[in-house]
């Protein structure tokens, strides 16, 4: 199986920052009566933070490749045969999108509560090489990736955009299965 670059929400937000972000959104959470339901806010906040710990992972390379599928250059190469794949070389690029982790937690034996959060992600590269054949992204080479994330609940920003430490991605990565280009 191809190498995965699994990123968890715990890696994106340390516990102190996560609790501060949740505190920032206390008013937004308070609008949802099923969350607070007469409970102490620190108990609710800690329940949400604990539910996020390590539970929600996504493969960064797959996420990025899905973002690349809209690039005009890849659409021009997407019909290349497997025997002679198309290669697109990009200079500095940004890929942005949002993931929506859903956390479920119960407090003091109460009914489980589900919360749908949003994490806006912006990934920036100095250079990217992508190999395309038969309407699929087959391989990529990336190097260093700079990532900025922001946590939200409904329309409320819980954190300001946070720039993470650069992530070293593989210089060559094969997608198994390959990523479809629509």
pLDDT in tens, the chain (182 residues): 455 667 777 777 777 888 898 898 888 888 876 666 677 888 888 888 887 776 677 788 888 888 888 888 899 999 999 999 999 998 888 999 998 888 887 777 777 778 888 989 999 988 889 999 999 999 998 888 899 999 999 889 999 998 988 888 888 889 989 999 99
Residue 1 within any structural domain of the chain: no
Is residue 99 assigned to a domain?
yes
Residue 21 lies in a domain: yes
In a domain, 108, yes or no: yes
pLDDT at residue number 4? 61
Domain membership of residue 163 as a residue range: 6-180
**Cis preceding-peptide flag for 177 (omega within 30 of 0):** yes
| 3-state SS assignment for residue 176 | strand
> How many domains does one find in the chain?
1
State the pLDDT at residue 157: 93
Which CA distances in Å does 16 have to 19, 42, 177? Answer: 5, 13, 37
pLDDT at 180: 94
Instruction: Tell me if 133 is assigned to some domain.
Output: yes
Does 76 map to a domain?
yes
Cα–Cα distance between 87 and 80 in angstroms, integer? 9
């Amino acid at each position: 199986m191809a190498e995965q670059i699994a990123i968890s929400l715990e890696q994106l937000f340390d516990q102190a920052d996560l609790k501060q972000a949740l505190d920032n959104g206390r008013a937004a959470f308070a609008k949802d009566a099923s969350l607070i339901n007469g409970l102490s806010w620190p108990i609710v906040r800690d329940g949400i933070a604990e539910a996020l710990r390590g539970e929600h992972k996504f493969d960064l390379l797959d996420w990025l490749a899905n973002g690349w599928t809209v690039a005009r250059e890849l659409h021009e190469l997407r019909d290349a045969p497997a025997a002679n794949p198309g290669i697109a070389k990009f200079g500095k690029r940004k890929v942005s999108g949002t993931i929506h982790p859903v956390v479920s937690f119960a407090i003091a034996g109460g009914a489980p509560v589900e919360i749908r959060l949003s994490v806006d992600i912006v990934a920036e590269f100095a250079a990217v090489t992508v190999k395309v054949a038969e309407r699929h992204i087959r391989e990529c080479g990336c190097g260093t990736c700079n990532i900025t994330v922001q946590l939200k609940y409904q329309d409320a920003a819980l954190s300001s955009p946070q720039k993470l430490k650069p992530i070293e991605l593989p210089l060559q990565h094969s997608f198994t299965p390959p990523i479809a280009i629509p």
